[in-house]
Amino acid sequence: MKSMHCAPLFRQLVFSRSLHYSKTIFHNGRGLTSTSESEMSHFNALASSWWDVNGPQRILHKMNLLRMDFIHDTIRQNLKLNENTDDEVYIPPFSVDFLTVLDVGCGGGILSESMARLSFVSSVKGIDLSADVLEAAKLHKQKDPMLKDKLSYTLNAIEDIPETERFDIVTMFEVLEHVDYPSRVLLEGLKRLESGGWLFLSTINRDFVSWFTTIFMGEHVLRIVPVGTHTLEKYINQSEIKDWLQEDSNRKSEFRVADTKGCVYLPAYGWKFTSCPDVGNYFMAIQRVK
């Protein structure tokens, strides 16, 4: 898929939101990775229309194609490949064991179902904090019999998953900008990776372009996502995640950022990768190296 070059960013809104979680989380009686009541209400209201490809979540359905491209390309570039010495003989591209997947903030299961259909994936566990949205995911799963033994959904926060339960792939797409303590969510996800495993995430830089495209245009002008879906102060610059990984010696030695790609939504085209991960939406792949 071709990339777009990003124009220089002439204006940037300054909103100070640290990636780090506050100590007050330990005194409010809520889970470490909890989201706000307003966020929960917003997504509960979308449950019944989650799988309507022309409904309020249509932009997520379109983004899922790019998500799968990003995951597929990362696996293809970093896991052992068979060598094809004869161009006339087809050799399957993957030589890997079956992989296990944890989809954090799975919502109605758009990504979970796509991951479960991959031939090299043995199981997918989707977790979310919204019972209504998970019910929509479970109902839609029943439409495809092949998903019965490969895909499961549970009402859990990430810290509810035992640290002894490890996965080859952990996904957090469009999650961090909707939780109150994103660094805690990210850390809990990284802890549940097998050695050599991958965490894939997507979120949004905190800048003028992001506000203009996702909130002003996306919510209020084009109405391609429901009003109230995004909060600029909760966006996270991709550099903040990288700095957070580097500032702790244990995280620095255990994890590496393997790839970061920007992406943009074009109403007449769909989602497209860009060459500038510092502006707007972005994907990131983090590997546990030991």
- Per-residue pLDDT of 228-254, as tens digits, reads 889 999 999 999 999 999 999 999 999
pLDDT value of position 98: 86
Q: What are phi and psi of 119, to 5 degrees?
A: -65, -25
- Per-residue pLDDT of 19-35, as tens digits, reads 543 333 323 334 455 57
Binding site residue list for Mg(2+):
174, 177-178
CATH class of 33-78+97-288: alpha beta
Q: Which residue has the higher pLDDT, 133 or 38?
A: 133
CA distance 18 to 172: 19
Mean pLDDT, range 125-136, rounded to an integer: 96
Q: Which residue has the higher pLDDT, 90 or 249?
A: 249
pLDDT value of position 91: 45
* Banded pLDDT at 84 (limits 50, 70, 90): low
**Radius of gyration for the alpha carbons in the chain, expressed in angstroms and rounded:** 19
Binding site residue list:
67, 105, 128, 173-174, 177-178
Mean pLDDT, range 249-264, rounded to an integer: 96
Report whether pLDDT(71) > 70.
yes
Q: Which residue has the higher pLDDT, 87 or 160?
A: 160
pLDDT value of position 86: 54
Mean pLDDT, range 79-84, rounded to an integer: 56
Report whether pLDDT(79) > 80.
no
DSSP 167-202: EEEEEEET-GGGSS-HHHHHHHHHHTEEEEEEEEEE
pTM passes above 0.95 = no
Mean pLDDT, range 30-52, rounded to an integer: 74
Q: Where are the domains positioned within the chain?
A: 33-78+97-288
∠ CA 137-116-236, rounded to 5°: 70
127 touches 153 (CB < 8 A): yes
Report whether pLDDT(89) > 70.
no
Average of per-residue pLDDT values in the chain: 84
CA distance 75 to 58: 27
Q: Which residue has the higher pLDDT, 189 or 120?
A: 189
- Per-residue pLDDT of 171-189, as tens digits, reads 999 999 999 899 999 999 9
Return all residues near 25 (Cβ < 8 A) that are at least 6 apart. 32, 180, 181, 184
Percent of the chain topping pLDDT 90: 64
pLDDT value of position 21: 39
* Banded pLDDT at 107 (limits 50, 70, 90): very high
Binding site residue list for S-adenosyl-L-methionine:
67, 105, 128, 173
| Cα within 13 Å of Cα(42), Cβ side | 16
